[in-house]
């Protein structure tokens, strides 16, 4: 397995994931990133299926690729017509790419019940389409759709499909677990048998309906396949496709296969997040190798061990895939977590006795509904506030909220907040309205602080989350508010907790602005 071909289908199969819709510009940007990563083949889409994909292939002709080969996807000719007269086949030629990935049926059920044609005609469709594209100087990969289901039901016909595709000139025959129902042992035995009978390159394309797509792909490569297809972050229809991020990391780090360079491997986390951002999908925090918690250590014993020997609780170095080690702080933490976190985040070396004091405070706070592992800015403030020389950039004197409902129309509910804050002995008393009490509180606090800190206008709220901590108390339950803020360059999260959602929001909001002011003024 010295040579493995990486084939990405994010721009087609990945786009079938619920909630994803790429624009032409999105697809061009992702294509460039995949080229940076060193993916050998990037499937741009199906030019015969929609105008957007046709537009993409036209735009892609202006993109200079250094590592990747752009491919177009399409199906075999329709039943009962000449291949030259099939407009979908012609659209593949019009895409101006050098490699065509052609999909055809290999399960007899789909031939007779879905295509509603004969088994013999389906073989002719495969043969005619591949030969025609080869005559037009195209390299052809053949995706044998539903191959493993087809093989289990009618192995003789599934083998006939491979034989015809190989004889027609397909460069690589990709065996597809389209329904995602095969398990690795089945895939291993079937591919081993086929690789012994056919002198043709094999590929593997798996879906993740049994949560085994990556494992199935890896065993397929062990058994003779040379091309592996997948998508960034495993995006795809239903439960998704094989995750190309995990495949690349496992091939490179576990099997010592240089499918990409060491420098390209360090881009893995960045590209995973980049594609998630363009897809408007939240990053998967516990995604192997590249997730924000992939190398996060919460237990005190774990954190202590990692500080002494990093590999003791990490199977690879996070830097190899562009990620980083994180030590979380919670009621499950030990002193080592506190000591490491304060030095890493604040550059402060504290005494073990201070770490013990902080750990006691954190445990008490978490019993009140706080949670610091996802709100590191609030944790940093917690530490700073225990230091003798700490001075807050502002202090709350008081605030009052007014909610008024003028008539039966719900849209006529208005919220106003009056806030009084103190900065360096001076008080500012101001009021502001908002869409709701929390929005009004945010507006009033910023308005009050603007006279003292005009640069605070750069800070905006990115996300606002509320969670009921103790549901048994009903509407009197403690709620936890998490606020993510940004100034356009950095992002930070703060937390507040109270039986009163407005108070919890105030704590998180004021922490956010206090942290930013301290950070901006170089206090840590």
Confidence at 488, pLDDT banded by 50, 70, 90: confident
Residue 329 has pLDDT above 90, yes or no: no
Q: Compute the distance between CA of residue 3 and CA of residue 1 in angstroms, rounded to an integer.
A: 5
Residues of the chain with CATH 3.30.160.270: 395-520
Residues of the chain with CATH 3.20.20.70: 5-279
Residue 342 has pLDDT above 80, yes or no: no
Q: What's the whole-model pTM score?
A: 0.74
Any idea which residue has 């594209």 for tokens?
133
- The whole-angstrom distance between residue 425's C-alpha and the CA centroid of its chain comes to 47
Q: Compute the distance between CA of residue 209 and CA of residue 213 in angstroms, rounded to an integer.
A: 8
Q: Compute the distance between CA of residue 279 and CA of residue 141 in angstroms, rounded to an integer.
A: 27
Average pLDDT estimate for 241-269: 96
Q: Beta strand pairing status for 296-297 and 227-230?
A: unpaired
The candidate with the shortest Cα–Cα distance to 141, out of 88, 94, 203, is: 203
Lowest mean pLDDT among 144-158, 190-204, 228-242, 304-318: 304-318
Q: Could you write out the DSSP letters of every residue in 62-105? A: T---SS-EEEEEEEPPPTTS-GGG-HHHHHHHHTT-SEEEEEEE
Lowest mean pLDDT among 168-182, 251-265, 399-413, 453-467: 399-413
| pLDDT at site 311 | 73
109-166 pLDDT tens trace: 999 999 999 999 999 999 999 999 999 999 999 999 999 999 999 999 999 999 999 9
Region of 397 (left: φ > 0; alpha: ψ -120 to 50; beta: rest) is alpha
Instruction: Say if residues 169 and 130 touch (Cβ distance below 8 Å).
Output: yes
352-366 pLDDT tens trace: 788 788 888 888 888
Instruction: Say if residues 233 and 245 touch (Cβ distance below 8 Å).
Output: yes
Instruction: Say if residues 444 and 432 touch (Cβ distance below 8 Å).
Output: yes
| pLDDT at site 403 | 80
* Percent of residues, the chain, with pLDDT higher than 90: 61
| pLDDT at site 522 | 73
The arrangement of strands across the sheet holding 491-498 comes to 460-468, 479-486, 491-498
The residues, any chain, with a CB within 8 Å of residue 25's CB and separated by 6 or more, are none
| pLDDT at site 308 | 66
| pLDDT at site 327 | 66
Report the CATH fold assignment for 5-279: TIM Barrel (3.20.20)
Lowest mean pLDDT among 57-61, 102-106, 279-283: 279-283
Residue 409 has pLDDT above 70, yes or no: no
| pLDDT at site 334 | 61
Residue 143 phi, psi dihedral angles, 5° rounding? -90, 110
Q: Compute the distance between CA of residue 357 and CA of residue 419 in angstroms, rounded to an integer.
A: 33
Residue 347 phi, psi dihedral angles, 5° rounding? 70, 30
Lowest mean pLDDT among 39-48, 196-205, 320-329: 320-329
Residue 473 has pLDDT above 80, yes or no: no
The candidate with the shortest Cα–Cα distance to 146, out of 118, 181, 190, is: 181
CATH superfamily of 395-520: Alpha-isopropylmalate synthase LeuA, regulatory domain (3.30.160.270)
| pLDDT at site 1 | 45
Q: Compute the distance between CA of residue 105 and CA of residue 95 in angstroms, rounded to an integer.
A: 23
- Helix, strand, coil percentages in the chain from 3-state DSSP, rounded to 5: 45, 20, 35
419-443 pLDDT tens trace: 898 998 898 888 888 888 888 888 9
412-415 contacts at long range (C-beta below 8 A, 24 or more positions apart): 415/439, 415/440
Lowest mean pLDDT among 19-28, 138-147, 284-293: 284-293
Q: Could you write out the DSSP letters of every residue in 182-239? A: --HHHHHHHHHHHHHH--SEEEEEEB-TTS-HHHHHHHHHHTT--EEEEBGGG--STT
Exposure string over 59-97, b if 16+ CB within 10 A, otherwise e: ebeeeeeebbbbbbbbbbbbeeeebeebebbebbbebeb
């Amino acid at each position: 397995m010295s040579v493995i071909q990486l084939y990405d289908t994010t721009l087609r199969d990945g786009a079938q994931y619920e909630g994803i819709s790429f624009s032409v510009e999105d697809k061009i940007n992702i294509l460039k990133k995949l080229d940076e990563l060193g993916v050998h083949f990037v499937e741009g889409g199906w030019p015969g299926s929609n105008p957007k994909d046709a537009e993409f292939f036209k735009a892609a002709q202006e993109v200079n690729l250094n590592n990747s080969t752009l491919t177009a996807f399409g199906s075999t000719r329709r039943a009962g017509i000449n291949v030259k007269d099939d407009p979908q086949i012609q659209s593949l030629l019009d895409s101006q790419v050098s490699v065509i990935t052609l999909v055809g049926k290999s399960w007899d059920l789909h031939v007779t019940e879905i295509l509603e044609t004969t088994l013999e005609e389906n073989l002719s469709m495969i043969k005619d389409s591949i030969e025609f594209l080869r005559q037009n100087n195209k390299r052809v990969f053949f995706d044998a759709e539903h191959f493993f289901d087809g093989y289990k039901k009618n192995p003789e016909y599934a083998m006939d499909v491979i034989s015809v595709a190989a004889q027609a000139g397909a460069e690589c025959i990709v065996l597809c677990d389209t329904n995602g129902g095969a398990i690795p042992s089945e895939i291993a035995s079937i591919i081993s048998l086929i690789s012994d009978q056919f002198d043709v390159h094999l590929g593997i394309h798996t879906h993740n309906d049994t949560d085994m797509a990556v494992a199935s792909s890896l065993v397929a490569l062990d058994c003779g396949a040379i091309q592996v297809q997948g998508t960034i972050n495993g995006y795809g229809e239903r439960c998704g496709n094989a995750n190309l991020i995990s495949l690349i990391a496992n091939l490179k780090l576990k099997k010592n296969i240089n499918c990409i360079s060491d420098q390209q491997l360090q881009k893995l986390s960045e590209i995973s997040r980049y594609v998630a951002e363009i897809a408007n999908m939240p990053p998967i925090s516990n995604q192997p190798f590249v997730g924000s918690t992939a190398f996060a250590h919460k237990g005190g014993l774990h954190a202590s061990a990692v500080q002494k020997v990093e590999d003791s609780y990490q199977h690879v170095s996070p830097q190899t895939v562009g990620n980083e080690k994180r030590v979380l702080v919670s009621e499950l933490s030990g002193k080592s977590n506190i000591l490491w976190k304060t030095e890493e985040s604040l550059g402060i070396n504290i005494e073990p006795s201070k770490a013990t004091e902080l750990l006691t405070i954190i445990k008490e706070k978490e019993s009140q509904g706080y949670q610091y592992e996802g709100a590191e800015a609030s944790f940093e403030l917690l530490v700073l506030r225990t230091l003798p020389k700490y001075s807050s950039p502002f202090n709350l004197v008081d605030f009052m909220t007014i909610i008024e409902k003028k008539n039966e129309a719900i849209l006529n509910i208005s919220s106003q907040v009056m806030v009084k804050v103190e900065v360096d002995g001076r008080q500012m008393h101001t009021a502001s309205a908002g869409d709701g009490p929390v929005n009004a509180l945010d507006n009033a606090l910023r308005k009050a602080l603007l006279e003292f800190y005009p640069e605070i206008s750069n800070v905006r709220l990115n996300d606002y989350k509320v969670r009921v901590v103790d549901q048994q108390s009903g509407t009197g339950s403690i709620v936890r508010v998490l606020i993510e803020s940004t100034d356009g360059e950095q992002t930070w999260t703060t937390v507040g907790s109270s039986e009163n959602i407005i108070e919890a929001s105030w704590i998180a909001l004021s922490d956010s602005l206090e942290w930013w002011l301290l950070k901006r003024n170089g206090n840590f």
